[in-house]
Amino acid sequence: MPYGEKSKEQLINFSDNIFRFLEKQGVKAVVMACNTTSATTYDTLKNNYNFKIYPIIQSVTEILANLPIQRIAVLATNATINSHAYKNGISKINPNMEVIEHACPEWVKIVEGKLEAKKESIEIIKADLQAVLKFNPEKIVLGCTHYPYLLEQLKAFAPEDMFINPAEAFAKYIKSDLEKSGLINKNGSGKEKFYVSGSPENFKSAASIFYNVKDLPQKVILIPDTTHSLQLQ
């Protein structure tokens, strides 16, 4: 962490290791919820496995390109912005839409550290937002899974309805596509497992931002490739 500061080669290696591990688990599909890896590794790795991969950026750019607006801004990590994945994806479908890109390298650290209420953090958030507001965008894409957790701070400087969380459209797209492919599970008997490549304790703390993890067991199972596993019963 954070992925946004890693090289493309590092990200491809990380993603391939994760996909190989998941392939051994017999998964039917993998969701690339991370904008950074979606931007930098999907095209390289997409045909290497026996399951379907859903990359967030490539899945939602068509939706964004068809919005009835002329100017859109994207806030994301350095790696995502440097890849121009959002801009290129939108431009292929709607070359008339202007796409403003801006990297916010400190935002992931702010969210992970739960520092969003700190004065210094608010100043960083404000400065990054003002850097794109000067171009008068009609909508702003929060192009990192962490960024929607800063909406409370962001809406102090711009209207809340200006911000787009692409994960919402992404989830609907995945559900619809699984239904069309006959892969959706409707029996309600699923289980949740969390595999983490770093510290399980750090995961429990960071994940509490968006998920109730208080019932996760204290026992940690070490599995191959130095990946740690936590299972929520």
104 tagged catalytic: no
Structure tokens at 198: 């770093």
Catalytic residue among 81, 90, 144, 206: 144
The H-or-E segment that residue 146 falls in is none
Q: How far apart are CA 206 and CA 208, in angstroms?
A: 5
Catalytic residue among 34, 79, 129, 164: 34
**Other CB atoms closer than 10 Å to residue 191's CB: what's the count?**
7
Q: How far apart are CA 40 and CA 217, in angstroms?
A: 34
Q: How far apart are CA 194 and CA 200, in angstroms?
A: 9
34 tagged catalytic: yes
Structure tokens at 162: 């200006």
Active-site residues, by number, are 34, 144
